Each structure stands twice: as C-alpha cells, then as structure tokens.
Structure 1
Amino acid sequence: MNRRYVSLFRESCARGLVHIQPLARAGIAVASRALGGALRRLRRPTRRGILLALAAVPALFLLYALALVPFTPSIGDIRKARIDRPALIVSADGKVIDEFKPVNREWVPLGQISPYMVDALIATEDRRFYEHHGIDGLRIASAALHTFSGDRQGGSTITQQLARNLYPDEIGRAPTLARKLREAITALKIEAVYSKAQILETYLNNVPFLYNAYGVEMAARTYFGKSARQLDILESATLVGMLKANSTYNPVLNPERALQRRNTVLGQMNKYGTLKPSAYSWLRRQPLNVNFQLQTASRSAAPHFSAQLRRWLSAWADRNGYNLYADGLVVRTTLDSRLQAMAVQAMAWQANQLQWVANGAWNEYTGCRAGNELFRTFMRQTSEYRAARDAGESDPAVLRKLGANPNFVRALCRSKTQVQAGFVAIDPRNGDIKAWVGSRDFSDAPFDHVLQARRQPGSTFKPFVYGAAFADGARPSDTLWDRNVAIPTAGQVTWRPTDAEPPTDQPMTLRDALVYSRNRVTAQLMLKEGPEKVARLARAMGVRDSALEAVPSLALGTSPVTLKEMVSAYSTIANRGVYLEPRMVTRIEDHDGKVLAQFASAAPEQALPAGAAQTLVDVMHDAVVRGTGAAIRTRFGVRADVAGKTGTTQDNADGWFILMHPQLVAGAWVGFDDGRVTLGDYWGQGARSALPMVGAFYDMALRGRVIDPDARFNPESRPPRKARPPRHHRFLFWNF
C-alpha cells in the first residue's frame, strides 16, 4: 500500500474528516449501474467490454468494503479502548466500596511487561508487526496459499486480533467475508490512532487467559504467581502459546500440549532472531514450572447493593453517553460503610449460630435421612434419582441406594439446610439506603434476599391494618373481643385464625392486640376496615412491587413481599406517614470531580395521615418495651427511642423483625430458600431468629454513635431518657 495514501488516511481518520457512508451509498449505485452495463456487453463480448467487466469486480468489492465502515467502531470508541478507568463507587462517608470493571484485569503499561513477552508475541503472532499498517498483505497471501494446499493458516495481524478482542459484537464471529472486512477496517482505524507500542500494550492488557484472568498481569499472577514484569522467557512463551487456543494449551489441565506449544513459540523466537540457537536448545528441555494461583476479583463491601447499582448505572451511562468502564465516573452513594460493616457482622454472628441449630436438626442421623418423608421428596427432585428411575429402577430401590450414599446425603442436606437471611436499613428522613446485605455470602449465595426473595411477612404486615384503623379515627384504647372467630371467604371456605394463647373472651385494646400480636383481634379489625383498603394503604406506604391479594387473611401477612418493600413501608411510618422512594445515589462526578448529575430525594407522598403514623409509632414502641420485641431492651439493652414489630409465618418458615429509629429503619428476614425447611417452633420465631440480628446491629450503631442515641420521634411529647450503658459485646455470644 502506498505510504503517502496510508499517511493521508490515518490523518483523515484521526481528524474525523472521512465521511464514508454517503460516499459508499453513491458509489454502490454507480458500481451497480456499471456492472449491469458490463454484464449486458458480455452478451456480445468485445475486448473493451471484457476489460470493463473485470474492472467492475474489484471496484464493487472496494465499495462493499467502504459500505461496512459505518458499521465498525468509531474513532472515538477506539480512543477510549486504552483508557482503563473503572467507575468508583463511594459510600456516603467517603469510602470506596467497589469499582466497576468489565473483567478481572489490572492494566499495566508496556514498560512493566517483560520484554520476553513482547518478543514471543511478535515472533509467533505477527513477525512483520512493525512493517505493516494493520493488515499484512504478504501474510494474507501466504495464509491463502497454505489454506488452498490443505494446511489452514491464519493471516490476522496483532492489530486485527486486537480489533476482535476489543469489539467482538461489532465485528462478529462468523467466518464470513463481511466479518474479515470489518476486522480489517477496524485494524486500520486502530493503527491510525495508536502507536505500535500502544497497540502492544492494549493487546496484552485485553487478551483473555482462562480462569477469569484478563490481560498479561492477571495471567502472570494466575499461572506463575508473579507480576508481568517478572516473567522469564519460558513463562512468556507459555502464555503466548495459550493465545492460539486457551483451553487446548492450558498448562494446568493440559501440560503436555502446553509444553509442546511453548516449544513451538521458542522455535519461532529462534527462527526470527530473538533467541540464540544455543539458548533454544537448552530452554526447550525445561519443564513448565506452573505455580497456579486462582485470582479472584476484589470483593465489594456491599455486593448485593453493587449488583443493583450496576444495573441502574449502566442504563444511566448508556442514556447519557458515558462509558462505565473507561470514563472514570465517581458515583456517590447513600450507603454508609460503617453501618454496612455492622450489618455484615450482625448477620454473620446470628446466622452462624442459627446454622449450628439447623445442623443439629438436619443431618444424616436426624432430618436428612431416607426415613424422613420431606427428605425423600428432596431426593426425588435430584438428577441422580431421575437417572436411576430412567434406567428402570423402582422408587424404593433408588431411595435405598441414594440413602446409603453418605456423600450424596451430605451434599443434598447441605444444599437444602443452609440458613439464609436478608438485611436492609433505610434513613426514613430522605429514603437513603444505608446498609444492604442480601445473603450470608455473595460468592456462595448471590441470590438477593432483600430485593429478589418474596416471602410471607407474617405479623409484620399487621401495622397496615392498625394504620388503616387509626387513619379512620380509631384509638389505641378502643377494644375488640379476644375470642374465636369464623370468617367466611370465597369458595365457601371458613377462615378461623388462631393464636398460640387461648382466647380470653375479654375485651382487648387495639394497643395490646398489636403489642402482643393477636391474630383473632387483628382479623376482626381487618373485617371492619376491609381488605381492599388495607391493601391500598400498604401499597401507598411502600409495598409497590409485590401483588397483594385483598382477602381477610392478608391481615396476617399471607401475600409474599420483599424485605426492601417492608422496610420502606416502615420508613413511611417513621417519617410521619410520608413515603419516600428508596434512593441509592446522590450524585455522579467525572474523574476530575466535576458534577455530572445530582439526584435529590424523591418527591414526598403522604401515604398515611401524620397523626395515624405517630399513633402507630407509639403503639409499636410498646412492642419493644413489653411485647414480642422486648428482647431489644432486655437482651440488647437498646434504650433509644425505637419501635418495631416481629413476624413469624405458618410453620415457622419465615422469621421477620423490623425496628424503627427516627434516623434509621432496619429489618431482617431469616429462613431457608426452600420454605419447607424450618428451624422449628422455638428458633423459627422472628423474635429468636431475625430480632437478634437487628438488635446486634442497633447496639453497634448506637454505641458507635453512627446514629444519635438521643433522637426522638416526637420530642414535644416524650422527654429524653438517659440511656443505660450497654453491656460489652453482649451480641457476641448466646444470652437468652
């Protein structure tokens, strides 16, 4: 290719002066007319007609290539490919809690990469790298000749390979002419923008090496336990050898093939003068010496929060023309790193102790045995059971065989009986999410029990019933009879709610009914207010994503909801009945600190009259003084102005507790992913499963003064009380 034209093309591309698409359209039209005329002349062939027809073929090919230019990455996109500035996620208290990288990669400059790596790469993949401008015509011709002779070879340069690695979707993967042309065009653009050194640096930092290792730095750490700067010639040749086929030449799983391929790379280096023959003869006899160390991506301080934030931020970046991984965005979030750490610690402490309880109730000698009907059901749901049945074995025979396999029983038992939990905390004054823990271990259980899990809320739903009554003018001192009730429902089914305690057949105040969580009285109040009204109120207060079935039993929390919805609704109670949509981000800045976008709190919505909300807080305050949530005071010594509610569902499948403070509302759910597994009548209660998690969290937050121990819901009517000093580390051991 004429160097003068190449220089002009590079300059035009860099300045953005080449506007190909309209020229291509016009050219294709002209070429089509010319080709049509040429084909007509071939009916009566002349020398001039034949020459014109022959000339039309390369002309049409060229115009076809030009027409593909607009469908390749732009110069601006290519410039950004070398910028590795992941978005930084910053907490409200100024701590970096995560960074959004597209892959597990650490970008290193070319000067920090072993020169052996560069020599091996060029000798093996593109020996004329410094002589071409993205496309090597001689290599293409040579590859074509070998391919026609039956020895298929690739003709792609390093620049073309970089184009494929950077833009796999735009270029495509199918072995077609259009794909090769898009690859070639992109390679020319890359050469127009980058120097040769920049191309090598970008290539070596983007190439994948298996085991979630991207780029030479992560590959060096993964396979040899060292940095890219420290790679010797043998290690460099091994990594370059993997580029032909990662899995085939994986030195961990296929060491013999990897050794052969490494020696091929050494042979190329010897052939093209970067390795002396005497050194080559010695090096090819050396072993691989792999030191495999799996590299894990850096852990987020709040992985479930980050997962939701990444989805939101990706959409925002796309709408506003930013690259999430290259523009160095700084995202200021509402999360408080101190409260997040406390929530993680509280969950780990309580869930680990509950797991000990679960392990005692569910092991190969107790619940996890073939004699347990529920465990037999679990066995029938496994692939091992289905395979044996498909082979013709009877159900009893398969159950006996699987039940006698201790490894099978142990694995199935563990998969079904891992205690799970979710925890979230929200500032009711502005809707800011302050802590979010979606499971015990994100790497082991990424399912988010804050946002994704929908479980029956049990008695934590009751405040919506009482809130509706208080909004209608009822008072906490009003009474209903504590007696058995029979409530007809659709389909001629009668609903008879029960309590753990027998009915007193005496009047009971609404205050005591909520404080002691009486189902019979709550059901009567539900009939008086109406299921539709209660469902509307719950939706207005924050239960906005889950469907609520407007039936009488809704009063006892029979419609599944998420923990985030429930804590958001309780935040409405704490905020004098004003609903604020939960917020994750306050502002986004560029890497120089310039504010790109700000996000204020959502518009307030008065979901519940302020008076009714204050009455609810007052009644639920008693629930933690003398009711089902009293362990907050007696066990955890929390003397701040707090109010809350426990919840336990049918058969103790779900345990809930939500606690309100003027500055923070936090809630926890505890259970198993399979609702048929429970902790039993004692440990399955929300007061014993979920409450300790919340109690330990508030104990730490108040002692650390992350929230104000003297804050009051209603300072005018409730004088401050002097807080009793908490007992030291009481949440670190059993204390019932």
Structure 2
Amino acid sequence: MTASDFKARARAVLARLLPWLRPHLRPRTLLVLPPLFLLYVLVLIPFTPGIRDIRKAKVDQPAQIYSADGKLLAEFKPTHREWVSLKEISPQAIDALIATEDRRFYRHHGIDFGRTASAALHTFSGDRQGGSTLTQQLARNLYPEEIGRSQTLTRKLKEAITAFKIEAVYSKDEILETYLNTVPFLYNAYGIEMAARTYFGKSAGELDALESATLIGMLKGNSYYNPVINPERALDRRNIVLGQMVKFGHLPAAKLDALTKRPLRIDFERQTEEPGRAPHFAQQLRKWLIAWADDNDYNIYSDGLVVRTTIDSRLQTMATNALALQGNQLQSIANAAWGGRGGCANANADLAHAFIRETSDYRAAHDGGMSDADALKKLSTDRAFMQTLCENKTRVQAAFVALDPRNGQIKAWVGSRDFTQDPFDHVAQARRQPGSTFKPFVYGAAFERGAKPTDTFVDQAVEIPVKGAETWRPTDDSPPSGRPVSLRDGIAYSKNRITAQLMESVGPARVARLARDMGVRESHLDEVPSLALGTSPVTLKEMVSAYGTIANDGSYIEPLLVTRIENRDGEVLAQFESAPERALSVDATRKLVDVMRDVVNRGTGTMIRTRFGIRADVAGKTGTTQDNADGWFILMHPQLVAGAWVGFNDSRVTLRSDYWGQGAHSALPIVGDFMQRTLRSHLIDARVRFDTQETPGKWQTFVTRLRTWIDATFSKAPKPAAPKNAQTTAQHPARAKRAPAEPAAEVTEAPPQSPVFTTMPPILPALGETASAAQAPSEPASAPRQ
C-alpha cells in the first residue's frame, strides 16, 4: 500500500467515525480519556501471567517418572511434542515464519504499533486483518485461559501486557524457539518437530523451502489449510508464503515461479507416543500426581519434578512377557471357538446381530429409514465391517498386578494385552465378578469368630431364601455327596455348597465388612448370600490388595505408587509410605493362609506346583464366574502377591470352553510364569515361609501360666533321678536306638486338634459341625469347578 492509498483509507475511516464522535468531542472528555485508559491497563496487569509463570514456561521441564531400580518409565508432557533448539530447526522455516507472521519481529518490543494501526484501519474499512506479533501469538498459545480468545479490547490489552512481559524475560531467539515448539499443527502434533514428522516424515532441521512454507501457511488456519483434507487450499496458501519470502528477501525472486508450480508432497503419518515400560501404571500415576501437584503448588509439565515410583522394571518386564505369552495362546483358542477372524456371525448369529445393533453404522442405517431386518442384512454381508466388529468383540483381554505385602508397594502393573490397541486399564478401571477368589473373605470371617479348618458341613443341596420370594440354590460341578466336608477341603476344592452354608452361618454383612477392611474399598458389595461366590464386581487391584492383607498377617496396607518426589536439583519434596491397619486377627489370618496353601498343594491350583515347578511356600485361590466369562488367579508369597484376570471387554463373549474358561487354565499360567521367572532371578527369596504358628490368646496364656504355677507350688512328687547313661544317650541317639525296647500298648491315632481350642468349648455353635471331633474329614471324590 502506497502512502497516498493509506491516507485515502484513513480519511474514509475518519469520515465514518466523525458522525459518532462529534457529540462526544468535548475538551474535558478528551482530557479524561488517557488517564482512564492508563488506569484500566494498570487494573488488568494482575490478571495476566506473572514473570515467574513466564519463566516456568520458558524452562518447560516435564516430570520424569522413574522405577524403583532407576529406569525411566515415562515423561509427563502437556502435549505430544518434542522440544528442539532453534539451531535444530531449518532456517527456511524460520524465514517463512518471520516473513509471513511478523516481518518487523527483530525491531519491536512485543507490539508492532504500525502494524496494529494498519490492521485497525483495514478492519474499520471492512477488510478485517490481524495485527498480532509473534510475541502476542505466543502469549495466546501459552496462556489461553488467562488471556482468553474473545475479540474484545480487554483481551487485546491482556495480550499486549503479556507480550511486553515475555519480551522482558525472553531473548528474540528464545521467543522464536518457544513459539515454534508450542504452536499446534492438528492431529495432536505440537511444535515444528512433530509437525515435520507428521506431514513429511522428517525432522524439523531437514525441511526445505516448500515444506516450510506449507507448515507455516497452516498457522493462518490449521483446519482450513490442512494439507491432508484440503490440499488445494494448502497449495494456494503455501504459494502465498513463498511470495512473502521473496518479497522480504528470504528467497531469490527467480525461483518463485518454479517453486509455485511444484505439487504438495505430503508424507502423512500420525505420530504416537511410545507406550513405555508401564503405560497403564503411568496413566494412573498421572492422575494422582496432578492432584498432588495442585495441592502443593507445582506444575507437572514445567517444574522438572522427579518421581520415584514403586515399580520394579525387571518385574514389570516379566509380567508383560508372561501376560503376552498366555494372551496370544488364548487368542488362538478364541479365534477357533468363534470361527476364525470375522466369523462370530457363524458361531452365534443372535449374538452377532446384537453386536451389530450396538454400532453407529446400524444406528445411522436405521435412522435413515431402513428396517431392522434390512439394516442387519446390509451390515452382516459387509465383510470388512463384520471382520472389524468380530475382531474387536472376540479380542482376549487380560490384566496383571503384583505388590509387596510388607509395605503395599506395587511392583508390576499390566492393564491390557496391548496399550496402543486397548488403553483401557483392566487393573484399576474394570470391575468384574471375582468368582471364587472372593471365598477367602467368607472363611476369614468364620475363622475370626472361632471356626477351625477341621470344622465340617455336609455336602448337600442348599436352599437359602433371599429378599422377596426368591431362593438361592448354589451348585457345584459334581452332585451332592451327602458326606461331611471340612472347611480346609471346602476352600481347597472350591466347594460352592460348603461356602454357601458357611456364609449363612457367618452372615453377608460380616463378610462384606471384612472384605472392605482387607482392601476392597472402592467397589460396592451387595450384602446378600451369593456374595460368597463373588457376584459383586470388583477390580483386580482391590483383590490383590486384599490378598496382600492376608500375606501380611492380617494388616491392610494401602497400595503405594510413589516412594518420593524430588525437584530438578535432587532435593526431596515429599516422601510416602502407607501405615498398616489391622483388618483380621493374626490367628484367623494364619488359619486362612494355611488352608489356602492346600489350593496349590492339592486343590484347584496345583498347576503352580506341577507345571511351573514352584516349590516356595505359596498360597492362593482360583476363580471362575458364570459361563466362564471371567478367569482369576491370585497367588501369595511372603514377599510378593500377584494376581491376574482374563476375559473379554464384553462379558457376553467367552472362550466357549469349560477347560480354558476356568481361572486355573486361563489366569493361573500368567501368575505361574511370572512367579517362576521371579524366583529364578532371585528377586524374591524362595526360602522364606509364612508364619502360620498359632499364637495363644490372653486367656489361654493365663490358664497355661496358672497350671504351671500350681504344679510347681503344690506338687509333692519327688523328681526322678537322672539315669547314669542319660548324657551318653543324649549325645549318641543312635546308640540309644539299639537298646532293647519294652513292648508298647497298642493305641489308636486321633486326628490332629487345634492347640488353641483343644480344651475349650465350641465358640461358634452356629457353625454346626456335622461330624464329631474325632471324625477325620473326608476328601471330596472329585475336584469341582472353582
């Protein structure tokens, strides 16, 4: 625009403004306006980002997440961005930016008053133009909430004030570097580096003039000039940027004609972040860390926090590998059961139709006027549609978590088979019925009230009335035998009828309360008899935490994700540990651990011993839900508790196999493989054992001491003289064996009794022992389903 053109346009704008200004152009009014404007600017200053916040943004150090053994697990960045220095960016991209967006960038201090005035004149004359400098644009990008996006005077003033502050803190090169690393480019790509990779498959330093002009041209309107969706508009905008580069001396004019005739050459590929070693764990940790940072006035994206987590990278790798191995094997079984890829319609037509009706494609067809039959026919014959639908529905899912029961520290966390394919976390987010893995809470509540592992119930048909006119009738795989079954055998062989009778004696409310005390604290538990068989959905994290309470002698410790947080200089900002809470008495817990040993020694979890060869002192429980929809297994070692769940996202889909659908064959191999690897690598001690010796109570201790005192005080019997060869016999036990022995009286061996309750009357008559104390518990004829 020439000077004469500018004057003409200015006169035209004034001509339009004078009719409105004339009534207000009084001398006193004009004198008051400047002080009022200055006062308004001063009032706005506190509502803009402070210098401290601007310095933080300049540093931009995301929180770094480390494992307990010092491996980097993740970095918490605000966006999908990789910061590069100005030297690592193509000079032609920088030239294109300055020529197009702010040609006087190096000559102003945040505000280009000449450009602002020109933009205002164009706007008043009907040709709306932007007058923001790169510094003003950076202010908007960095602080959108503080500055806002509305087209008002207040927003422009906030933007200008923030721009002045940025110029006071940043050098010009730092402003350019920060701008180019924070500007958005669609498809979750932020910054010039990610944009170069996304649209051209190269780094920012390798961009040529055409590629630089294409990316810088997008800044005027990302969506409008998107080279993927709108290539013609992007091409025109690219050529305009090239023209600006020639106009301001960044490109030779002789090259312009040839360059503008070149086509767009886009090599588009969405950029995805690397999932890292423990992506689901990092996902949960981010939520926790954001809350902690907000409470303590830190920013997880810019303050350079260093977070030391409880995860052991070695155990995490073992867990990931074990889950992947078993998951792949189960997937091949699922594919065969459902007729191969895309074959769910042939395997179960009714269920396939139900799947179709739940899709957006069906809703669109139905809303468009198609009948249900026509829409089903159209979509069911679409081979690509059905293949995608069936693959999604019949994809086997699994989850695994392990923690140290002594301190609650989570050591491994795998939320799904593939985080990029299914980021949904089946450890902490998915609530599924736990099946028989819930039974230990019933037995624990019974032991707390005085029951003994040798107490028995008759294996008979059970009918328990519930609210209304309904009756609950739990069943097992085998018919009722009519024989007494001990509590030890009831849990070892996962007998539903025995557990149901025990639940009726103990009461659902007591069992639910114990489960909550032991760790099931986030999911709702229905206080009904069927709760004994795990009908209330819970998370895997809750169940493993509760089993950690069992392994920790009955003391609950809240699961721990982080041990400490440091600043960028290594100074400790916070340390974390969980305090133990008594949930179950020591005696009851030790009885529970002892009977749960039998699950792996001779019950439903024997594969731990037979297939994986684990000889360490372990105890656990299998679990399978109705129609084999969910498979569970949780194993306890004094130093590590590990649990796995296997199923499908849609509980209507199962492995369609009574063998593979059981937790003992679906989930147990994951835990067994993991524990085998852990023991072989000596990350836990195979020699450590659970302490299941019962400790006498206060009354028993008092009785014992009283008897000892009475015997010592009132006994008049002379002490027997020691035999002459006593010392020799003690020193040489083999020689004593060769001495002739007197004939012994024939005795009948009685079954072992609990030392604590041998001389005490039954504490719980309601438990209804169905066999005499001297009657040995009978073993079930066959191992039932879990």
Map Cα deviations across residues 100-148 of structure 1 (whole Å, 9 max, x no partner): 1111222122222222222111111011111111111110111122223
Matches within 5 A, 1:322-401: 322-363=298-339, 367-369=344-346, 372-401=349-378
**Counterpart residue type for residue 279 of structure 1:** K
- Aligned equivalents of 2:582 and 2:234: distance in 1? 67
Residue 583 of structure 1, CA deviation: 0.4
Aligned to 2:594, what secondary structure does the other structure show?
Answer: helix
Counterparts of 1:448-487 in structure 2 under 5 Å?
448-487=425-464
Pick closer, same or farther for the CA change 1:231–1:401 going to 2, 3 Å: closer
Q: Say whether the 8 Å CA contact 1:370–1:399 is kept in structure 2.
A: no
What pairs with 1:183-194 in structure 2 (closer than 5 Å)? 183-194=159-170
Determine if contact 2:62/2:303 at 8 Å carries over to the other structure. Answer: yes
Choose from 376, 380, 383 the match for 1:406.
383
Q: Counterpart in 1 of 2:762?
A: none
Pairing partner for 1:134 from 89, 97, 110: 110
1:31-180 to structure 2, matched below 5 A, reads 50-180=26-156
Distance in structure 2 (CA, Å) of the matches to 1:383 and 1:262 = 38
Compared CA separation, residues 274 and 386, structure 1 to 2 (3 A)? closer
Find the counterpart in structure 2 of residue 225 from structure 1: 201
1:282 aligns with 2:258: yes
Task: Give the counterpart of 1:606 among 582, 586, 593.
Answer: 582
CA spacing shift, 1:370–1:150, aligned 2, 3 Å: farther
Q: CA deviation at 1:294?
A: 3.3
Matched with 2:605 is: 629
**Shift in CA distance, 305/408, structure 1 to aligned 2, threshold 3 Å:** same
Is the Cα–Cα contact under 8 Å of residues 434 and 630 in structure 2 kept in the other structure?
Answer: yes
Matching of residue 644 in structure 1 with residue 644 in structure 2: no
For residues 511-566 of structure 1, give each alpha carbon's deviation from its aligned partner in whole angstroms, at most 9, with x where no partner exists.
00000000001110111111111111111100111111111111111111111110
Task: From the superposition, tell whether residues 405 and 274 of structure 1 become closer, same or farther in structure 2 (CA, over 3 Å).
Answer: closer
Name the counterpart of 2:675: 698
Deviates more, 1:549-558 or 1:240-249: 240-249
Which residue of the partner structure matches residue 223 of structure 2?
247
SS in 2 for 1:434: strand
Query: Residue 513 of structure 1 contacts residue 522 of structure 1 at CA under 8 Å; is this kept in 2?
Result: yes
- C-alpha distance in structure 1 between counterparts of 2:182 and 2:376, whole Å: 50
User: Is 1:640–1:709's contact at 8 Å kept on the other side of the alignment?
Assistant: yes
1:51 Cα deviation from its structure 2 partner: 1.0
Alignment match, 2:757: none
Structure 1 segment 259-270 matched on structure 2, within 5 A = 259-270=235-246
Distance (whole Å) between structure 2 residues aligned to residue 61 and residue 118 of structure 1: 36
Q: Offset of 1:474 from its aligned partner?
A: 1.2
Aligned-partner Cα distance in 2 for 1:395–1:232: 55
* Structure 2 unaligned residues grouped into runs of 5+: 1-20, 695-786
Give 1:325's aligned amino acid.
Y
How well do the aligned residues superpose, as a CA RMSD in angstroms? 1.9
Match of 2:573 among 588, 596, 610: 596
Displacement after TM superposition at 1:589 (Å): 0.8
> Structure 1 residues 468, 322: CA separation in 2 closer, same or farther (over 3 Å shift)?
same
**1:123–1:272 contact (8 Å) kept in structure 2:** yes
Q: Are residue 294 (structure 1) and residue 270 (structure 2) matched?
A: yes
1:45-92 alpha-carbon deviations (Å, 9 max, x no partner): 9x9x92111222343233222222111111100111111311110001
- Equivalent position SS for 1:624: helix
For 1:6, the equivalent position in structure 2 comes to: none
Per the alignment, in what secondary structure is the counterpart of residue 669 of structure 1?
Answer: strand
- Structure-2 separation of matches of 1:444 and 1:552: 39
Which TM-score applies when normalising by structure 2?
0.83
Aligned equivalent of 1:198: 174
Contact preservation (8 Å) 2:593, 2:692? no
The 3 A distance-change label for structure 1 pair 231 and 384 is closer
Instruction: Show CA shifts across 1:387-416 (max 9, x none).
Output: 333344433333333322222222221222
Distance 1:586 1:145, change over 3 A: same
Is 1:545 the counterpart of 2:522 in the alignment?
yes
The structure whose Rg is larger is 2
Identity among equivalent positions (%) equals: 68
**8 Å CA contact retained: 2:342, 2:386:** no
User: 1:293 deviation in Å?
Assistant: 4.0
One-letter code aligned to 1:474: A
In structure 2, C-alpha distance between the alignment counterparts of 1:385 and 1:291, rounded to whole Å: 34
Deviations 1:17-57 (A, max 9, x none): xxxxxxxxxxxxxxxxxxxxxxxxx9xx9x9x921112223
CA–CA distance in structure 2, aligned partners of residues 383 and 238 of structure 1? 36
Q: Which residue of 2 aligns with 1:731?
A: none
Which residues in structure 2 correspond to 1:308-323 (within 5 Å)? 308-323=284-299
Please give the alpha-carbon distance, in whole angstroms, between the structure 1 residues aligned to 2:486 and 2:43. 80
Corresponding residue for residue 734 of structure 1: none
Contact 2:343–2:390 (CA under 8 A) maintained in structure 1: no
Q: Deviations over 1:451-498 (max 9, x none)?
A: 111111110000001111111121111111111111111102111110
User: CA separation in 2, counterparts of 1:696 and 1:667?
Assistant: 12
Question: How many residue pairs get matched?
Answer: 671
Alignment check: 8 A CA contact 1:369 1:403 kept: no
1:432 to 409, 414, 421: 409
Matches within 5 A, 1:680-719: 680=656, 681-714=658-691
What is the SS of the residue equivalent to 1:331? strand
Q: Secondary structure at the match of 1:130?
A: helix
CA contact (8 A) 2:398 2:645 kept: yes
Does the CA-based 8 Å contact 1:648-1:655 persist in structure 2?
yes
Paired residues of 1:370 and 1:403 also in contact (CA < 8 A): no
Q: Find out whether 1:519 has 2:482 as its counterpart.
A: no
Find the aligned partners of 1:294 and 1:536 in 2 and give their Cα distance. Answer: 49
AA matched with 1:298: E
Q: Which amino acid letter does the alignment assign opposite residue 236 of structure 1?
A: S
Question: What SS class does the counterpart of residue 73 from structure 2 fall into?
Answer: strand
Tell me, yes or no, if the aligned pair for 2:591 and 2:692 is still in contact at 8 Å: no
For 1:201 and 1:375, the matched residues in 2 are separated by 54
Equivalent in the alignment of 1:304: 280
Note if contact 2:459-2:480 (Cα within 8 Å) is conserved in structure 1.
yes
Residues 519-598 of structure 1: pairs in structure 2 closer than 5 A: 519-598=496-575
Q: Structure 1-normalised TM-score?
A: 0.88
Q: 1:630 to 1:462 in 2, by over 3 A?
A: same
From 465, 472, 478, the counterpart of 1:501: 478
Contact 2:620 2:634 in 1 (8 A): yes
In structure 2, the CA distance between the partners of 1:704 and 1:468, relative to structure 1 (3 Å rule), is: same
Q: Contact 1:369–1:409 (CA<8 Å) still a contact in 2?
A: no
Q: Which amino acid aligns with 1:241?
A: G
Contact kept, 8 Å, 1:370 with 1:400, in 2: the verdict is: no
Q: CA–CA distance in 2 between the matches of 1:715 and 1:384?
A: 59
- Between the aligned partners of 1:380 and 1:495, the Cα distance in structure 2 is 34
Greater than 6 Å deviation, 4+ residue runs: none
**Alignment CA distance shift 1:67-1:99 (3 Å):** same
CA distance in 1, matches of 2:225, 2:119: 22
Q: CA–CA distance in 2 between the matches of 1:219 and 1:467?
A: 58
